[in-house]
Amino acid sequence: MTQAFEPQAQPTTLLFHKPYGVLSQFSPEPGSVWGTLAEHIPVAGVYAAGRLDADSEGLLLLTADGRLQQRLTDPRWGHWRRYWAQVEGTPTNGALERLNQGLLVQGQLTLPARAALLPDPDWPPRTPPIRHRLKVPSAWLQIELREGRNRQVRRMTAAVGLPTLRLIRVGIDLLDGGPAFDLSGLGPGQWRGVNLNEAQRLRRLGRAGPPGKPRPGRRA
Using an 8 Å Cβ cutoff, are 211 and 22 in contact?
A: no
Q: What is the pLDDT of residue 71?
A: 86
Among left, alpha and beta (phi > 0; psi -120 to 50; other), residue 129 is: beta
Q: pTM value? A: 0.89
**List of domains in the chain:** 2-76+177-207 (3.30.70.580), 81-170 (3.30.70.1560)
Residue predicted with more confidence, 142 or 212: 142
| Those residues with Cβ within 8 angstroms of residue 68's Cβ, 6 or more apart along the chain or in another chain | 13, 49, 202, 203, 205, 206
Using an 8 Å Cβ cutoff, are 29 and 214 in contact?
A: no
For 45-94, how does the pLDDT look when each residue is reduced to its tens digit (9 = 90+)? 999 998 999 999 999 999 999 989 888 888 778 889 999 999 999 999 99
Task: Using the predicted structure, report yes or no on whether residue 209 has a pLDDT greater than 70.
Answer: no
Residue predicted with more confidence, 7 or 92: 92
Average pLDDT over residues 158-183: 95
Average pLDDT over residues 112-128: 95
Using an 8 Å Cβ cutoff, are 167 and 156 in contact?
A: no
Within its chain, how far is the Cα of 186 from the centroid? 14
Q: What Rg value do the Cα atoms of the chain yield, rounded? A: 17
Task: Using the predicted structure, report yes or no on whether residue 120 has a pLDDT greater than 60.
Answer: yes
Q: What is the pLDDT of residue 216?
A: 45
Closest CA to 186 of 6, 11, 8, 16: 16
* DSSP codes joined into one string, the chain: -EESSPPPSS-SEEEEEEPTTB-SSSSPPTT---B-GGGT---TT-EESS---TT-EEEEEEES-HHHHHHHH-TTS---EEEEEEEES---HHHHHHHHH--EETTEEPPP-EEEEE----PPPPSSPPP--TTS-EEEEEEEES---TTHHHHHHHHTT--EEEEEEEEE--SSSSPPEE-TT--TTEEEE--HHHHHHHHHHHHPPP-SS-------
For 131-170, how does the pLDDT look when each residue is reduced to its tens digit (9 = 90+)? 888 788 999 999 999 988 889 999 999 999 999 999 999 9
* Residues belonging to the active site: 53
